[in-house]
Amino acid sequence: MIGLLRLALAAVAAALLSQFPAFSDHYVQRLGGQVDALTLVAQDFDASAARADMTRDEALADLSGSAFRDGHRADMLRAFGRLDRAQADLAMLRLAGPLERMVLPHRLRDADTLRATWTDFRPALPLTSSGLIAAGIGFALGWMLAALLGRLAGRTRRRDERLGWR
């Protein structure tokens, strides 16, 4: 029975992890689109600032004095910050292969992009070598997790028997 549970947990972990390479590819594509869109926003803002003989920082400083201007300034600062983070993450994720991305989950941090990717992602058979390797890693991790849980349950049961609780 325990062997069957261990096999089931390992199979579930394999199925889940096998999807990560394709999911991360989709995320990278969407993140690239976000970087493109945010770059256009930044370029438009910088062009407007240049036409007024201002730098970006000067133009941002000039955006104050009313609720609208303060709000617009906060929006632009947020957009520039998101662009900087997205560019850094995209560069790192593009350098990494699908399997290397498994150790970079902290680079999948753009919540809007992650949510949109998850919403549109449809699991499929992992027919790529990356998907199959990820499935193997997931199977091994699931197997080890099941073994660990089994050992913990066994220790608890033996302790309870020793203390006369069962």
Asked if the structure places residue 121 within a domain, the reply is: yes
Residue 162: is its pLDDT beyond 80? no
| pLDDT tens figures, 82-139 | 999 999 999 999 999 888 999 999 999 999 999 999 999 998 887 788 888 988 999 9
Give me the pLDDT at residue 42, please.
Answer: 98
- The string over 118-132, giving b where at least 16 C-beta atoms fall within 10 Å of a residue's C-beta and e elsewhere, is eeeeeeeebeeebbe
Question: Residue 85: which domain range?
Answer: 1-160
Of the pLDDT bands very low, low, confident and very high (cuts 50, 70, 90), residue 166 is: low
Is pLDDT of 15 > 70? yes
> Residue 107 has what DSSP assignment?
G
Kindly state whether residue 124 falls inside one of the protein's structural domains: yes
Is residue 52 in some structural domain?
yes
- 117 part of a folded domain: yes
Encode pLDDT of 18-72 as tens digits: 899 999 999 999 999 999 999 999 999 999 999 999 999 999 999 999 999 999 9
Residue 9 CB: number of other CB atoms within 10 A? 20
Which pLDDT score is estimated for 44?
97
Q: How many domains does the chain have?
A: 1
* pLDDT at site 1: 67
Query: Does residue 165 lie within any of the structural domains?
Result: no
pTM value surpassing 0.85:
no
